Homo-oligomer: A and B are copies of this chain.
């Protein structure tokens, strides 16, 4: 893993250097074998100094590269760091992740993504950071996003959807994450409506959808996904240990982040296309199946009001349907849910 120097005032993009990309590709084609400096220089039309600088850059990004004056360079290890070239390598998605902006540290990937969206970035643009200094959850709640231990990223979408489809976009992020986590690591992730990601009864992360709309029509939306991957239990502050978890804890060992990210982007891609074509019903069905609170008696706090009742289902927009003791069914768009029994 690369080291994480003091927080930059202005986010610094990383990866994305074409020379380093080309050298990384060349070395990765002969893993654990030396590639001579002369071959690299000739093949890529580079000076000795350009090669040296780019290799230095790769090492700072976490690549294990051995250099020998006689034999050349040898790739011993690629980092498990969400660098654009590593994310793109084998990514089977065209729209989601079609453009990638990666940073060591940003305040919040959602903020960066919203700014890029205002500037007209393409549908599906991915913004990812190794660490967030101002990660946010719903209602501006702080979200701890330390370097190297999680996946903190945002996807800009420009769907032809009414703003009432926002919950479907949150589900898009949650369902894609759950599917990738289950398929790659056999771990059943659940959704705590409206936007929390849970493993074994403890919070692993969450999804935060933010959007800009004209009248009721979404102009652009940002789906922010953040979850703990390899944060060891010992690293948790005591007050979080009982309520928070990481994928590593459930999977029984460290989890490579880049393949997991790629899989999430791919799962988003297929569902995003379907959502645009056929509406949110299928996504809401998938989310419902991940939501163990259906049938439970809950207390929901929302906009200063408290309601209690039985969760009887979800409506086609993903709103929760709550039946009160009096028997009336109310439709709730968001809220903090406590399961009573």
Interface residues of A (CB under 8 A from B): 138-139, 160, 162-164, 166-167, 170, 194-195, 208-217, 219, 303, 333-334
Using A163-B163, A163-B164, A164-B164 as known contacts, say yes or no to A208 and B214 having CB atoms under 8 A apart. Answer: yes
How far is B229's CA from A135's CA once the two chains are assembled, in angstroms? 47
How near does chain B come to A187, taking the closest CB pair, in angstroms? 26
Copies in the complex: 2
Known: A163-B164, A333-B162. Contact between A213 and B213, CB under 8 A?
A: yes
Complex contact A163–B217 (CB within 8 A) = no
Contacts of A213 on B, CB cut-off 8 Å? 163, 166, 210-213
Expressed in whole angstroms, the Cα–Cα distance for A161 and B29 within the complex equals 55
The complex places the Cα of A166 from the Cα of B139 at a distance, in Å, of 20
Residue of B nearest to A210 (CB): B214
Chain B contacts for A160, CB-based, 8 A: 303
In the assembled complex, the CB of A95 is this many whole angstroms from the nearest CB of chain B, namely 18
Partner of A166, one of B138, B163, B208: B163
* A95 to B77 alpha-carbon distance, docked (Å): 61
Q: Which of B166, B208, B215 contacts A209 (CB 8 A)?
A: B215
Q: Is B167 within 8 A of A194, CB to CB?
A: no
| B210 & A334 in contact (Cβ 8 Å cutoff) | no
Closest A-B pairs by Cβ, 10 of them = A163-B163, A164-B164, A166-B216, A216-B333, A162-B333, A211-B213, A160-B303, A166-B215, A209-B215, A210-B214
Q: What is the bound-complex CA distance between A209 and B214, given in angstroms?
A: 6
| B334 and A215 within 8 A (CB) | yes
Given known contacts A210-B213, A215-B333, what 16 new A-B pairs fall within 8 Å (CB)?
A139-B214, A162-B333, A163-B211, A163-B216, A164-B164, A166-B213, A166-B215, A166-B216, A167-B216, A170-B215, A194-B215, A195-B215, A212-B212, A212-B213, A216-B333, A217-B334
Please pick, from B138, B164, B219, B303, the residue contacting A214 in the complex, using a CB distance under 8 A. Answer: B138
Chain B residue with the shortest CB-CB distance to A303: B160
Are B334 and A216 in contact, CB atoms less than 8 angstroms apart? yes
Alpha-carbon distance between A160 and B211 when the two chains are bound, in angstroms: 16
| A333 in contact with B217 (CB, 8 Å) | yes
A221 nearest in chain B by CB position: B213
A214 / chain B contacts, CB cutoff of 8 Å: 138-139, 208-210
Cα A186 to Cα B179 in complex, Å, equals: 62
The 25 sampled A-B contact pairs (Cβ below 8 Å) are A138-B214, A138-B215, A139-B214, A160-B303, A162-B333, A163-B163, A163-B164, A163-B166, A163-B211, A163-B213, A163-B216, A164-B164, A166-B216, A167-B216, A195-B215, A208-B214, A208-B215, A209-B214, A210-B214, A210-B215, A210-B219, A211-B213, A212-B212, A216-B333, A216-B334
